[in-house]
Amino acid sequence: MIRVLEPDLAWAEQYAREVVRIALHAKRALGRTEHVGGTAVPWLAARRTIDMLAFVSDDAHREGLGAVLRSIGYSPEARSEDPYVPPTWRYEGERSVRLFLVDEHDPFATDALLVRDYLRTHRTLADAYGAFKLEIAAREGVTEAAYAAAKIPFLESILRQANAPR
């Protein structure tokens, strides 16, 4: 069963605490981070997973951060067959965290930030997207894969709007 929760302002605080927790162990291995996904938009219904981008500059940096993440309970997820999806690490503790390792020019990161920023400034669209996510999750027998796939057209629509000339 897919569980989509009503918005919770504590999600931003949970993200900030997780950045501090990683940074305390990572020293220089942790560069810029960004809070993305549903929990990064204050009024958007979302799953309980805090999605984060960690910008890494090269393979050595990525490996160093990977060692740190393992030491604090993160596990690497199986590499997606989709080349668009970057290497991903997951932490299941008091909160669920999904950490995407990206570089500054990663299309996944660019799109995630664009969607986040657009939804933060377009409340009506964010409300519609939240209602859509709740509707998908309420479908009987919906799987993780089906939930993710059902969101793609809506997300593509948001990206088109965000990229439209103003």
Distance of CA 46 to the CA centre of its chain: 11
| In-domain check, residue 5 | no
Query: What's the pLDDT at 47?
Result: 92
pLDDT in tens, 103-126: 989 999 999 999 999 999 999 999
Token reading at 31: 């560069």
159: domain CATH number is 3.30.460.10
Global pTM reads 0.92
pLDDT at residue 19 above 80?
Answer: yes
Residue 136 pLDDT > 90: yes
Residue 98 confidence (pLDDT) above 90? yes
Q: What is the DSSP letter of 66?
A: H
Contact 98, 52 (CB under 8 A): yes
Identify the domain containing residue 129 by its residue range: 10-163
**Domain count for the chain:** 1
- Read off the tokens for 46: 């979302």
pLDDT at 1: 82
